[in-house]
Structure formats: structure tokens, C-alpha cells
Chains A and B, each alone.
Chain A
């Protein structure tokens, strides 16, 4: 590996796969106006549009020439990596490729080793709800990781683009159920994920839910023994702080364990339901204080808001106008928090996940038995989500400046050039 540019090393790189842009987290959740025409939506309705099934165990050829790039979905990790839509030429199917600029990797922050750790972990984890990759290879100065194409992007993308006020409860239950299955699997393998959040939950058009974001995952197994607790603080992932459990942030002799993921899941559940990330209006230090003082986020609905603020006339009038507009079950959520009500089971689910004392939080396996998931029948999860996704657009991408076409054009213009002007010599 060559690290040519010393300036690049000063930049903090964020390595790992998130199909969604991390930067979006901090942006206001209002739907963005459609930008210029160079944004293309995935042609999911095109009969020629075919992807690999995620569960197909494929060993695609690590040959850069096998892939035709169609466009960029987003930039991740401070621009050191980008997610592309591409077509696998031999099969004609669509895939996504994460390109990591190896020169941008920060050697000081041991970016390369964390990238390596992430990929080997993704290979190790074989589960229906964990995002796999087909192959990874070095092309030029970049590392290409070929992944299944997630047509709906991440759950965060879904919130940002279509549902700034949160998803409907049924959709959340379906998504979290699958995430918990993945977490239970990871925890049994002795790993802590450490960054469970909406932008690490990926959704395929066919209703598949996949957990990713393994860059921060850490093993609890040392010298062949499972540790009681670990103490490593993920200091280089500032963008995950809002989801971290109080015991992880406290960094004292107690340390933390797999229960810290349950707390993060609770925060992610609030994120999915409310649209906004709990504590996101605070600077990190204030958030730390709130978490240590056992402040717990809540679902924003008429129950919690009624408790804290009481009914205002404004909300009353809005409630009237809102009637009749909601169609249940839909993917989205009633936009006015005063006008919606989540089930008591959902409220309880959030409460048990966000308990301050990790020993009082249920494990992933126990949570799967929670009443909140009674509305989920495992057989139809994928179908229900799939039908829900029909109403929303898939992720969009910025098409490549198709250089070949440009070249063709300029060649043509050159060919058609007619030198009618005569040379003039004075």
C-alpha cells in the first residue's frame, strides 16, 4: 500500500459500509426539494432490472472489467469511500460497489486494519439478516467491495426522503424483529455491534432487512475465553455517540457488554418512530450528562406529549384536520405527534431497552419474545414490508458522466468537422 499524500493522513477517515450517507444524520429531516435532473431513481420497474438474491452464495470474479458503473449513490466516511450502483456485466444483474480510496485511509488511525477487520467479520457472519458481500479486491488505488444492491437504501434514507416524522408501528416492528434476530446471532458469536442505528439497517425492495456497519464491532472473546465485560471506547466514531449506552460512555471499571447493543436498539427504535434522533439537539457533553442522569428518550405520540405538555388548542385543530388521512397499515406515520398513538407494547419495548442498568435490560433473545412483536408473523414479514415499499421510490443516484459517450460525441464532432475555411497567409 502506498500512502502518497501525507495531507490525506491527517484527515480522519471513516471506513466501513453504510449505504446511507452519515452526513444526513445531522441534516434537518424535512424532505429535500428535487435537485437537478442528474439524479436518477433506480429503474426497479424495468423488466431488465435484476439483482442477485442476497442469500445466493456467490463468488463473483474479482475482475474490475466485469463491472459497469452506473452512478454514485452517496459518499461515506468523509469522502474516503463512496457507494456506487453498478452492473455485473457477465450476468447483467445490478449490484452495489463500495469503493474505498486506500490513499485516503488514515494510517495513524489504523484505518486499514479496521477495514480488514470489518470485511473479515462480514465474511464470518452468515445470517439471513446480516448484509454479506460477494467479493472484495484492490483495483488501482481503490478497494472495491461488491455488495448486494439495497434498493431502498438504509432505514435512515427512508426517513430522510419519505418519512421525516417516522415510520408506522407495524413497519418498525417488522424491521426491529429482523434486526434483533441478527443481533442475537452476533451476541451468541461473542460480538458486540456497537453502532446499531437506522443508517446501519438496510432494506431491499423485496422486503429484506439487513444489519450492517461492522466497522465498530468488537469481540468479547479473548484468549479463548468470553470476557465478562469489555472496556474499549470507540473514540474514533463520533457519529455513533448518540446511540451509545450510558455504561459504554462512562468508561469506568465496570465496562459494558452485549446489553449495550440493546440500549442502542432502543435509541434506533425511537429514531424510526420519531423520525429524529434522540439527543441530536445536544452537544456530546450535554448528552453524556443526560444519559448518566438516566434521562430516557420516549416515543413522541399523544400519550407522552399529553403527559408532558398538555393539550394545546393548536393540536386540537390539527387533530381535526388530520382525521381520515391516515391509511393503516402504511409504511409511514401520522406526521403530527399529537395525533398519533403508539401501542402500549411499543412504549414498554422502548422502556425496557433504555433502562439505565444494563442488567435490567433484556437480552436480544428475550426481546424477541416481547409483546411488541405479537403483530409480527414471521412468515409474512418480507411480504408485508415488500408491499409497503411499493408506495415509495427506491434510492436515487447520480449517473456517472459517461465518459465513453462523451468521447464518442467528441470523436463524431471531430469526424464531421469540415475544414471549409481556407488557410490564409499574409
Chain B
């Protein structure tokens, strides 16, 4: 028999196309009978190919009650972590997924970084890094630094949730879709000023980020830049005499010569200035100052410190980039010097079209609306999309259960039990065990991987609004 789970698969793969099965299914697909008449055989074959594969010997189509289709477990199921309602996946870090959530009390959009202890243990220094990240983030409060809102532990599931401010997207995402992979000067200037404000604050707090790059610079709906991902950041000791650091685990393409050359100790603040300089170079030219086929070549080139600024870069900007990418850390600009630089001081004219945030890869939503809405819908209106007349007992049960949700106190606090893992075992985790080295545009590869995953998630979001 074709079981309900299989139909469930149909729904996941192509919800629209499988809809007619449910709707016209009083005499539905039944065992060893010819296929139903409402589909052309060829059409049917192409849609339900796997039916044939699974059954092997010839065509078996089984009778399934329409209720079974309608009330089969749906991907859209509301999950609450503490007071946060889970939405769709926003992206993946090396430690786990980042999902959008909704604070059920304040209705504020948030993002949650989900950390699995199992996965953390496999990454060198994983647990330690996370603890440090939390410690660092807890002390920081600045408009241009991502804010940690809440930390939730689940001992049973061996998971940890870092609830953060919600950001709609990042600079990298915008660059990827921009013509020439760069911003017009005035737009880059706006981001650079905010980055410098954030850096100034961080350094004032004795914190060195060590991994400044476009993909770690996120934007809120209001266009405010937030420095994020403090996974490899370092907090200087209270009694430290200066900003001397000894370790760095940042992205290779953004590392300064002193690290590429393996110097034992170096100035931490100047590391951030260098990577900000590479970032500035990247977002204004669409290129990288240093390249290499592999990490050794890359570090060799960085270590020499020789690069050229493209000719079309105006001289004040070129001068600033030169100052930030000085090979000798002592000659390199400090944050204050950068802030005083003529290019920063003078706002460039608004020439050139603004690069917008692209619509999310899995939906055509240009507004980046809440992704929790379908889940809310499922929670409060479970019948809405079904055939109203045929309410099965199961459906009524569901209804009464849902009525209880009216009172928040009786919410079952469900831990998220990623339904995807059932169908795509370990697809994503296998990708993530490897710490990915970043060679310049290496981020692209990763991004593609992300978007393909997001597409798989789409059934839940396709119903949005």
C-alpha cells in the first residue's frame, strides 16, 4: 500500500500539483486499478514517478481516503522555544542553523542561532568559542553591534539557542546580486561609517572582532548595519597593557600580513582595521586586493603586502584603502585616523543606483515579511485550507487542541524537532563538519548550498500571505 507518508512526500515536493489528488479523491488512486481519470497518464507519470520506482513490479496505485491526505502531518507545525515561535531558516553558520523567530509576548521579530552540542564537540574549540561568544555579546550594547537578547538551554535535547536581534540580510547577499558585485560609492560610504562606529565602540570595550567581512555585516529592516558573528572574537584582559593578540581564526582572505606571515603576537585593533580595509576594497571595487588558488598562495601574497587599487577608484578612496592596507601594522591607520579621513568625512554624491536587498531565494517576497505567519496560521486556523465539509474526528481533535492555544499559559512548550531531518538525513550536517576556508569569493559556493536548502524548505513558506 502506498502509505500516507508517501503522500506526505508528494506534498513536500510539489504541494500545488498534489492538491487535485486530495480534492477530487472520492474514488481516488486505488490498488491495482487504472489510474484515476482526472490526470493524463503521461502527466501522472511525470508527477508521481517515484510511485513506480517504489513499487517496482508494475503499476500499483492504492486507495487512500481523502482524510488521510488532508490530515496527514503537514510540514507547517508551530514550534515554540521558550516564548519564541519558530519561523523559517535564515541561513547556516558553521555551528548550526539560524532561524527567524517571533517573540510571542512583544511580537518582536528575532533571529535564533541554534547550536547542537553534538556538533559543537566535533569542531575544534567549538564549545569554548560559543561560551566566549556569549560572554562577549552579553556585555556589548551599541546600535551597530548585534545584540544578544536571550540564551535558552535545552539539556535534554543538548541544544542551545542564542536569541538575537533580527536582521533582514547581509552585505554579502546584496553584493552577490549587484552588478559588478559592488556598491555605488555613496552606499558603501554609509555602511563604512556605521562599521567604523561599531568598531570604535568594540575597541573601546577591549573587544577585537577578528572576522570583519561583508558576510558578517548584517542590516536591519531600517538599514542599520550590525556587526555580527563574534565566534572568533577576543576580549582583552582587563589588565592587559595593550591590544596584543596571539591567535586568529578569521577568514583567510581578510587576514593581515602579520597573521599570514605567522608572527607570534600582533596588534588586535590593527587586524580589524586591515579586514575593514579589505572589506572596503571589496564592496567598492567588487574585487579582492589579494588572491590565491589555495590558502598557501593567498597567504604568500598577503604576506608580501603588494596590491593595486583599480584605476577607476577615486583618489581619496584609494588613499584610504592604501592607509588601511599598510603592511606594517604601525604605519597602518587606526580606527580614529580612518574616521578622520577625507573620504569618510565627505559624503559622496548619490550617484549610481542603490543596490537593494534581493528577495529571499525561496520566495519572491521582496518585503522580507515575517516567515512565522504560516505557522501562526496553522496554529490558530488549522482548518482554513482544508475541505470544510469533511471534518474527520482527527480534525476535530486537532481543533480542540488548538483552541487551548488561545490561552498562552496552556501552550505546550514544544522543542523544535526538525522535521527535515527525517526526510533528508544528514544532508546539511555532512556539509558542515568541515570548517570551510574562505578564499575570496568562496562564500559564493556556500551561498548556493544554502539557497538550495532553502528551496527544499519552501512548502511551508509558499503559502505566505
Contact = CB atoms under 8 A, between A and B. Distances in A.
Interface of A: 230-233, 235-236, 238, 241, 249-255, 282-286, 288-289, 292
A255 B168 CA distance: 13
Interface string B367-383: 11110010011011100
B108 A235 contact: yes
B406 A285 contact: no
A282 B107 contact: no
Interface string B402-421: 00011110000000000000
Given A233-B109, A253-B168, A286 B221 contact: no
Main SS at interface, chain B: loop
A151 B377 CA distance: 45
A232 B143 CA distance: 12
A240 B102 CA distance: 17
Given A253-B368, A283-B408, A288 B107 contact: yes
A230 B223 CA distance: 10
Interface in B354-397: 357, 366-370, 373, 376-377, 379-381
Contacts of A231: 220-223
Given A283-B406, A285-B102, A292-B373, A252 B380 contact: no
B220 A238 contact: no
B106 interface: yes
B104 A250 contact: no
5 contacts: A238-B106, A251-B166, A253-B368, A285-B107, A289-B373
A36 to B, nearest CB: 32
B107 A253 contact: no
B105 interface: yes
Given A231-B222, A252-B221, A284-B106, 15 more contacts: A230-B222, A231-B221, A233-B108, A233-B109, A252-B369, A253-B366, A255-B221, A283-B408, A285-B85, A285-B380, A286-B376, A286-B406, A289-B376, A289-B381, A292-B373
Given A231-B222, A253-B366, A283-B406, A289 B377 contact: yes
Given A233-B108, A235-B108, A289 B221 contact: no
Contacts of B367: 252-254
Contacts of B106: 235-236, 238, 241, 284
B104 A283 contact: yes
B103 interface: yes
A289 B408 CA distance: 15
B108 A253 contact: no
A255 B221 CA distance: 8
Interface in B336-368: 357, 366-368
Number of chain B interface residues as a range? 20 to 34
A238 B83 CA distance: 14
Given A233-B108, A285-B376, A255 B406 contact: no
Nearest to B85: A285
A249 B222 contact: no
B373 A285 contact: no
B380 A251 contact: no
Interface of B: 85, 102-109, 166, 168, 220-223, 357, 366-370, 373, 376-377, 379-381, 405-408, 465
B64 to A, nearest CB: 32
Contacts of A284: 104-107
Given A235-B108, A241-B107, A251 B370 contact: yes
Given A283-B406, A283-B407, A288-B376, A250 B370 contact: yes
Nearest to A292: B373
Nearest to B376: A289
Contacts of A254: 367
A254 B223 CA distance: 11
Nearest to B169: A253
Contacts of A249: 107
Contacts of B102: 285, 288
A236 B85 CA distance: 18
Contacts of B370: 250-252
A249 B370 CA distance: 10
Contacts of B105: 238, 284
A280 to B, nearest CB: 13
B378 to A, nearest CB: 10
> Which residue of B102, B106, B366, B368 has the most chain A CB atoms within 10 A of its CB atom?
B106
B37 to A, nearest CB: 37
A17 B233 CA distance: 42
B220 A286 contact: no
**Which of B221, B366, B367 is the most central at the interface, judged by chain A CB atoms within 10 Å of its CB?**
B221
Contacts of B222: 230-232, 255
A233 B220 CA distance: 11
Nearest to A248: B107
Nearest to A288: B107
Given A282-B406, A283-B104, A288-B107, A253 B221 contact: yes
A265 B35 CA distance: 59
Closest 9 CB pairs between A and B?
A231-B222, A235-B108, A231-B221, A252-B367, A252-B369, A283-B408, A235-B106, A289-B376, A251-B109
Contacts of A253: 168, 221, 357, 366-368
Contacts of A238: 105-106
Nearest to B108: A235
Contacts of B221: 231, 251-253, 255
A284 B372 CA distance: 14
Contacts of A230: 222
B193 to A, nearest CB: 11
Nearest to A251: B109
Contacts of A251: 108-109, 166, 221, 370
Contact of B104 (A252, A255, A282, A285): A285
A286 B366 contact: no
A400 to B, nearest CB: 36
